[in-house]
Amino acid sequence: MKILLCSCCLFISFISFAQRIELPTARFITGDDIKYSYPATDDGNWKDIQANIVWDAQGYEKYDGYAWYRFHIVLPASLKTNSLWKDSLRIFLAKIDDVCEVYLNGTKIGKSGSFPEDKEGYITTWNKKQEYHVAISKQYLNWGADNLLAVRVYDGGGAGGIFSGTPYVSMLDLIDGIEINNHSPVEFLSKNKAKKNILLANNFNQRISGTLHYAVIDVENDKAEKHSIPVNISPNGKFTFTIPVTLAERNNLYYEFEEGQTRKKIQLTETIPYLLTPAPSPSPKINGANVFGIRPNAPFLFKIPATGKKPLQYSVENLPAGLKVDAATGIITGSIKTKGDHKMTLIVKNSLGTDKKEFTVKCGDLLALTPPMGWNSWNCWGLSVSDERLKISAQAMIDKGLIDHGWTYMNIDDGWEAETRNEKGEIVSNKKFPDLKKMGDWLHNKGLKFGIYSSPGSKTCGGYLGSYQHELQDAQSYAGWGIDYLKYDWCSYETVYRNEKDTSLAAFIKPYSIMQLALQSQNRDIVYSLCQYGMKDVWKWGATVNGNCWRTTGDIEDSWESLRNIGFNQTSQYAYAGPGRWNDPDMMIVGQVGWGDNLHPTRLTPDEQYTHVSLWCLLSAPLLIGCDLGKLDDFTLNLLTNDEVIAVDQDPLGKQAKQVIKTDTYQVWMKELEDGSKAIGIFNLSDKNDVIRFYWSQLGLTDTHKARDLWRQKDLGIFRSMFATKVPSHGVTLIRIDK
Ligand code: GAL
């Protein structure tokens, strides 16, 4: 993309409102030289760059390595004199992908992350807010004259540079010293009562006083109870407060701290987690998909997912020859020799009754006839996944009953590989995974499946060993360990691809087809998940290498921006989804996530999480939970166990939803289902709760429809000509309508 910047913006930094100097553009050069931090260095020949979007979007596509930004800033003396506190200057640099060092008039004022040549080696802080404070007494500040702010950046891969906001300079106010920490979970005391602890931290060396205003808002009924209390926090002190809450279906908590001298405020609103999925009935109920794909003679493993008061008793009518069912666990094992559709009836009984379900095993070439459902280690543990951590989540999958709703795969992502191959050239696991074969057996005995990760390059994205030139050997090892799912991640194959200097599509596809053949030659059904972030429209050719799913985007993270940008942009690929061929908008970001040792609750609000699960189900996306299941809370469990919502994802027709209405504030997505009914998601993308209305005719539908609310599992009645629904900000109404 070419972006035209006027060179006259070069030395202009403007004051957009009273006390903020915005820095929308900078001078820019790739490479590295400490002289670039000196004010005297001439940057006349450098290029202009926008300082709020990554450099890859501005003519430096795929540039990794060092680069410098220089901002020329006039600091008016009024900035200082107009400030009440007159203490320090704030330099806000949004986020910087990946590592940075910041210099003001030649003096280093801060650093974030670690450069490759540093003692600690390369550590990215791409997602960290970059803000630096400089006392106004510093001699090197030039009031009323030019100042040079130089930023040294190192990009270790992917996009690079300053992004996610426009940098600016302003004076600090006392309010900037206050941080509201609302991270402690809401405690539910009884059906109608809860409490929430919040903490105000004063990060400055100065007493701060003001007022804490808070309100509990009953969103549905638009009622609010408002309260105010005086607050006085000693230097670097803390103030904790408990807000009592009387619960309605949806409650918002609003809090605001108003600093006493300036009357400046900081505010936060949060939605108290609210459960929509009704509790499962004690009577037996068979859940999950009604089709299952296998290849002839490959080991068969399928656990009948069913809820109801335990113990349950499982049986199958018309079980094909070669298979047997364990009556106590519902695990079906064996193998089938003959290709074709094998129809059977699954039966589950308990003391309260019996449930039956027609089920078809399609024995042929295609696996993953419905999108794979399970768990992957990446969004929680990142590279610090271990055997023990995997086992805790696997056990929780069973103990918390997720397996009874169809959640099956337990996939290790990057970080399991040893540093070198063994003397036979075979890949082996590192210390964190003492025995993969044993782990596979343990999972299979419980009715779970086992997934693993590799790269067609010599190194994975996390720097571990990849499969390059060992593909067949690796596929054999996987089969030996009982692997059921492979995520195959492009990563360092980029180097091979570039070195081969063949830019044809065939050269690009080649590594995926090599692994396809290696997998196909194993007597084991291994779901093949391509991960190359959607390059070269993978959805158009993923099926030719027998890929069962393919990532369509870069990595997701637990923020509304990331969810919205990924989820609501899955528009062009819908025609390519179908049984055994799924577009994958990346793994789920619910529960405790963290990409490393330190986990935190997802930063998505409850409504954003309802949106996430609804949209992924409409998109027929693989559903891979990316959190520590050992710490699964009631809200996340409830979110992941709604069988009517999951059924939208697991519908055997395998269509992907189409975006049928798109406005600035809301979108409607519609998915065709096998029985002729339709699942419709009505999403409110705005920052306000709203009533969303549309005519059936806008979706190309006939005039009258019966609608059912899938989250609440409740019939809503008959709607003539139009449908209207209240949708919370960033939330969803998910319905199923009859033909
Ligand atoms: C990324 C991939 C992530 C994760 C990671 C492991 O390329 O998109 O999902 O697998 O590599 O290093």
- Domains with residue ranges and CATH for the chain: 3-15+176-271 (2.60.40.10), 19-172 (2.60.120.260), 285-363 (2.60.40.10), 373-656 (3.20.20.70), 659-737 (2.60.40.1180)
Spatial CA neighbour of 53 closest among 88, 24, 85, 15: 24
**Beta-strand pair 449-454/485-489:** parallel
Report the DSSP pairing between strands 161-163 and 88-97. Answer: antiparallel
Q: Mutual orientation of helices 387-399 and 436-445 as an angle, nearest 10°?
A: 0
Q: Is 413 in the pocket of ligand 1 (CB under 6 A)?
A: yes
Kindly state the tokens that stand for 74. Answer: 């006039």
**Bridge-based pairing state of the strands 88-97 and 129-135:** antiparallel
Q: Does ligand 1 lie within 6 Å of residue 157's CB atom? A: no
Residue 87 falls in the annotated catalytic set: no
To the query of whether residue 555 is one of the catalytic residues in this protein, the response is: yes
State phi, psi for 418 to the nearest 5 degrees: -75, 170
Q: What is the helix (H) or strand (E) element at residue 325, kind and residue range?
A: strand 323-325
Below-70 pLDDT ranges, the chain: 1-18
* Residue 552 structure tokens: 């369509």
Which of ligand 1's atoms lies nearest the C-alpha of 382? 6
Ligand 1 pocket member 584 (CB < 6 A): no
Q: Ligand 1 centroid to 380 CA: how many Å?
A: 12
Q: What is d(CA 163, CA 155) in angstroms, rounded to the nearest whole number? A: 12
Give strand pairing partners of 621: none
Distances from the Cα of 615 to the Cαs of 99, 490, 516, in angstroms?
A: 34, 26, 30
User: Catalytic one among 32, 64, 441, 555?
Assistant: 555
CA 551 to chain centre: 13
Residue 558 CB–ligand 1 contact under 6 Å:
no
Pairing of strands 178-181, 193-202: antiparallel
Task: Extract the tokens encoding 124.
Answer: 């990215």
414: Cβ below 6 Å to ligand 1?
yes
Closest ligand 1 atom, residue 491 Cα: 7
Compute the distance from residue 576 Cα to the ligand 1 centre, in Å: 23
CB of 524 within 8 A of CB of 487?
no
Q: In 538-596, which ranges are E strands?
A: 549-551, 582-584, 592-593
- What pLDDT, on a 0 to 100 scale, did the predictor assign at position 246? 84
Pocket lining: 492 vs ligand 1, CB cutoff 6 Å? no
Using CA atoms, how far residue 689 sits from 564, 667, 693, 725, in Å, is: 17, 14, 13, 11
CB 699 within 8 A of CB 675: no
For residue 629, the SS3 value is helix
* Interatomic CA distance for residues 736 and 739, integer angstroms: 10
Ligand 1 centre distance from Cα of residue 410 (Å): 16
Confidence (pLDDT) at 6: 31
Distance CA 405, CA 573 (A): 28
Q: Which two tokens stand for residue 640?
A: 């992941």
Alpha helices for 365-470 (secondary structure H): 378-381, 387-399, 436-445
Helix (H, G, I), strand (E, B) or coil at 670: strand
d(CA 592, CA 589): 8
The whole-angstrom separation of Cα 301 and Cα 140 is 70
Does residue 66 contact residue 44 with C-beta atoms inside 8 Å?
Answer: no
Largest separation between any pair of C-alpha atoms in the chain: 88
CA–CA distance, 654 with 579 (Å, rounded to integer):
5
From the list 402, 396, 398, 407, the residue with the least C-alpha distance to 289 is 407
What is the DSSP-derived secondary structure letter of residue 576?
G
Which residue's CA is the nearest one to ligand 1's atom 11?
461
Ligand 1 pocket, residue 461 CB under 6 Å: yes
Per-residue confidence (pLDDT) for residue 554, from 0 to 100? 93
**pLDDT in the model for residue 4:** 30
**83-118 pLDDT per residue, tens:** 888 999 999 999 999 999 999 999 999 999 999 999
Active site residue: 87, 413, 489, 628, which one?
489
Would the CB of 494 count as within 6 Å of ligand 1?
Answer: no
**Nearest residue by C-alpha to atom 3 in ligand 1:** 555
Distance CA 590, CA 606 (A): 9
Look at ligand 1, atom 1, and give the residue with the nearest C-alpha. Answer: 461
Assess whether the C-beta atom of 155 lies below 6 angstroms from ligand 1: no
461 Cβ contact list (under 8 Å, min separation 6):
157, 414, 455, 489, 491, 492
- 341 in Cβ contact with 362 (< 8 Å): yes
Which of 384, 555, 593 has the most ligand 1 atoms within 8 A of CB, as the residue to mutate?
555
- Please name the residue whose Cα sits nearest to atom 5 of ligand 1: 461
Distance 182 CA to ligand 1 centre (A): 30
Residue 69: per-residue pLDDT: 98
Question: Interior CA angle at 414 toward 466 and 99, to 5°?
Answer: 100
- Report the C-alpha gap between 431 and 421 in whole angstroms: 14
Distance 461 CA to ligand 1 centre (A): 6
Q: Is 557 in the pocket of ligand 1 (CB under 6 A)?
A: no
Residue identified by tokens 């040079």 is 148
Ligand 1 binding pocket mutation candidate from 531, 549, 552, 625 (most atoms within 8 A of CB) = 531
Look at the alpha carbons of 51, 54, 56, 57 in this order and tell me if their dihedral is positive or negative. negative
Burial (CB count <10 Å: 0-12, 13-18, 19+), residue 661:
middle
Q: Ligand 1: distance of its center to the CA of 375 in Å?
A: 14
Give the three-state DSSP class for 163. strand
